[in-house]
Structure 1
Amino acid sequence: MLSQLGVKLALGLLRLFALLPYGFVARLGDGLGWLLYQIPSGRKRVVHINLKLCFPEWSDERREDVAQKHFRHAIRSYLERSFQWFASAEKLEKLVQVDSEIDLDDPDMPPTLLLGFHFVGIEAGSIFINHALHRQCGALYQPMSNPELEAVAKAARGRFGSDMASRADSARIVLRWLRERKPVMLGADMDYGMRNSTFVPFFGVPTCTLTAVGRFAKVGHAQVVPIIGEVLPHYKGYRLRVFKPWDNYPTGDDDVDARRMNAFLEEQIPKMPEQYYWVHKRFKTRPPGQPGFY
């Protein structure tokens, strides 16, 4: 955990980086990621375990290539918080392309859950969707261990008109937002433990998966619109991809609805496997009686 001095130094560097050319900061993060990948670490081990579980058919060479590229992307994403948190709206507009299958300016948009996925561009996509929608949104965030860092992150993520709420206090607030026709941004593809979760396959591995998305959609009579923040090649910025709402969702069956989310990811991840957040211990919680992977 960062000390208070470390947090202040990190935030100061991010504010400084926001003043520099994006390409320079992106390349700096890429190089730092390459350097850190050369050092044995627990997170590097997690990446390899996850890739081997999800893509057992890959050769060792293929797995090594994707693991290194992902590590570079992951470290780079932290430096790029500088632009995502502190750059002006005008600068972000130049960095983010929006590719939407729905009308983001629709004044009659029904209650909507914007389902974000943990690709390395999720921060850029989650922040910019509020700007692209031109309306007040709601968003959930995961509390941080450092109060100062959490306050800065919360302000940055909500700076384009988004109300922010802690994931721990989410249910009542999300339903109120949906009744008010505020689009609600949330992410559900991480391992948060067994509470409000079920085990369904993810690349063939029984995976602890949140059931909250289907439940919110059912109670709030909301459509579910997947969004993905993609990092563009050649240090050109990001693409925010907004998909069509899922048909026949929710079904009312928690397992079926959770499986739908994982199946969507199984379609999208192979298109850019180096960008999914493999440093996360996605398979940490195991079914009773099964040994851990990490």
Structure 2
Amino acid sequence: MQAVAFYLIYPILWIISRLPFPIVYLISDFFYFITYYIIGYRKKVIKKNLTTAFPDKSDKEITRLAKKSTQHFCDIFIEMIKSMGMSKKSMKKRFTCSNPEMVNAFAKAKQPIVALFGHQASYEWTMVLDDVIDYKVYAIYKPLKNKKFNDLIVGIRKKFNSEMVAMKEATSFMSKSAQSEAALFALVADQSPKSGNAQHFTNFFGVPSAVFKGAERIAREYGTPVVFLRINKVKRGYYDTEFVTIAENGAETEDWFITDTFFQLLEEQIIKQPEYYLWSHKRWKSTIGSTKRAVELSPRVQR
């Protein structure tokens, strides 16, 4: 059935990827209307997350942000499809980086590096940066259950020659690779562990939030630099980015410094453009009281 679904839908995706952007965004607007007003996709989750992050905002403002966030979510989905038919030149025009030389300096020194970013603005088009940085890029991702669609998504993301590594294999892969090659490991690092399996908690918008610390562990163990990729949405279909140094040598940082700094930088970025964050995922689904594992708290939580 999965294969049947793929072969039925793929021709539609292929056609959309070849349409001009004005028509593509009309399709996105249609999806938004269906998603928000008809289906009501995770509307309660989105509003609850926004209220948690911004308790001082009025109900009217929360609703406005929920609508804008859902519309942006539809844009991200349609832009991912559109990238199937886009040239590298077109994508590089729409997704730019102001300081790739900062990361390339570490590449010149043959140092492996960890790049962290969040579900903010265009996390799907970050693959464009593979063409302007002097690293072999390994992107950590969560595979889809449908193998055909997963292969399609992986193919899209490998357009600029990065390699994809499944999330469950990420820590062991990074550990082995960091010992043998100077590569860049790219992680969307604001994922939340499954409820009950959470162990590490830091503050995110003032609320204890379950996080993964694998990237920090690798950086501290192998002394790799760590950078944050700040992504800003300029206008519909256009984004600019810049790298921000979190640590030049992870081995010289204190416990929690890398993870806490990442979430602080991400929070600052979200505050500037809250409508472009993926509020539909359950960021605070795990609580300190619900986890079945020994809890480790960040100094930000302990204060």
TM, length-normalised to structure 2: 0.85
Instruction: Tell me how far apart the structure 2 counterparts of residues 258 and 104 of structure 1 sit (CA, whole Å).
Output: 19
How many Å apart are 1:102 and its aligned residue?
4.4
Q: Partner letter of residue 124 of structure 2?
A: E
Aligned pair partner of 1:224 in 223, 226, 236: 226
Pairs aligned (count): 286
CA contact 2:223–2:249 (8 Å) conserved in 1:
no
Q: Partner letter of residue 213 of structure 1?
A: A
CA contact 2:202–2:211 (8 Å) conserved in 1:
yes
Alignment map for 1:1-294 (pairs within 5 Å): 3-39=2-38, 41-100=40-99, 102-106=101-105, 107-108=108-109, 110-125=111-126, 127-179=127-179, 180-193=181-194, 195=197, 197-233=199-235, 235-246=236-247, 251-254=253-256, 256-288=257-289
SS of the counterpart of 2:132?
helix
Q: Partner letter of residue 217 of structure 1?
A: A
CA contact 1:178–1:184 (8 Å) conserved in 2:
no
Q: Partner letter of residue 145 of structure 2?
A: S
Q: Partner letter of residue 96 of structure 1?
A: F
How many Å apart are 1:59 and its aligned residue?
0.7
Q: Partner letter of residue 244 of structure 2?
A: F
Residues 52-80 of structure 1: CA distance to partner in whole angstroms, max 9, x if unpaired? 11111001111111110000000121111
Gaps of 5+ in 1: none
CA contact 1:23–1:236 (8 Å) conserved in 2:
no
Structure 1 window deviating more from structure 2 (237-246 vs 141-150): it is 237-246
CA contact 2:45–2:279 (8 Å) conserved in 1:
yes
CA contact 1:50–1:282 (8 Å) conserved in 2:
yes
Residues 242-292 of structure 1: CA distance to partner in whole angstroms, max 9, x if unpaired? 2234468563424x54332221222110110000110111111122159xx
Gaps of 5+ in 2: 292-303
How many Å apart are 1:31 and its aligned residue?
4.1
How many Å apart are 1:192 and its aligned residue?
2.0
Instruction: Tell me how far apart the structure 2 counterparts of residues 148 and 169 of structure 1 sit (CA, whole Å).
Output: 20
Instruction: Tell me how far apart the structure 1 counterparts of residues 157 and 145 of structure 2 sit (CA, whole Å).
Output: 17
Instruction: Tell me how far apart the structure 2 counterparts of residues 9 and 99 of structure 1 sit (CA, whole Å).
Output: 41
Instruction: Tell me how far apart the structure 2 counterparts of residues 158 and 40 of structure 1 sit (CA, whole Å).
Output: 32
Instruction: Tell me how far apart the structure 2 counterparts of residues 195 and 36 of structure 1 sit (CA, whole Å).
Output: 31
Structure 1 window deviating more from structure 2 (256-265 vs 203-212): it is 256-265
SS of the counterpart of 1:39?
helix
Q: Partner letter of residue 13 of structure 2?
A: L
How many Å apart are 1:130 and its aligned residue?
1.1
Structure 1 window deviating more from structure 2 (58-67 vs 107-116): it is 107-116
Instruction: Tell me how far apart the structure 1 counterparts of residues 80 and 186 of structure 2 sit (CA, whole Å).
Output: 18
TM, length-normalised to structure 1: 0.87
Residues 135-194 of structure 1: CA distance to partner in whole angstroms, max 9, x if unpaired? 421111112110111111112212322122111112221123333011111122021236
Structure 1 window deviating more from structure 2 (136-145 vs 43-52): it is 136-145
Q: Partner letter of residue 210 of structure 1?
A: F
With over 3 angstroms needed to count, the CA separation of the structure-2 counterparts of 1:246 and 1:12, relative to structure 1, is farther
Structure 1 window deviating more from structure 2 (31-40 vs 278-287): it is 31-40
Instruction: Tell me how far apart the structure 2 counterparts of residues 279 and 58 of structure 1 sit (CA, whole Å).
Output: 18
CA contact 1:115–1:187 (8 Å) conserved in 2:
yes
CA contact 2:247–2:258 (8 Å) conserved in 1:
no
How many Å apart are 1:105 and its aligned residue?
4.0
Structure 1 window deviating more from structure 2 (164-173 vs 194-203): it is 194-203
Instruction: Tell me how far apart the structure 2 counterparts of residues 112 and 85 of structure 1 sit (CA, whole Å).
Output: 28
CA contact 1:123–1:229 (8 Å) conserved in 2:
no
Instruction: Tell me how far apart the structure 2 counterparts of residues 56 and 287 of structure 1 sit (CA, whole Å).
Output: 21
- Counterpart residue number, 2:295: none
Identity of aligned residues (%): 23
Structure 1 window deviating more from structure 2 (224-233 vs 43-52): it is 224-233
Q: Partner letter of residue 55 of structure 2?
A: P
With over 3 angstroms needed to count, the CA separation of the structure-2 counterparts of 1:229 and 1:65, relative to structure 1, is same
Instruction: Tell me how far apart the structure 2 counterparts of residues 109 and 119 of structure 1 sit (CA, whole Å).
Output: 29
Instruction: Tell me how far apart the structure 1 counterparts of residues 123 and 32 of structure 2 sit (CA, whole Å).
Output: 18
Question: RMSD of the TM alignment (CA)?
Answer: 2.4
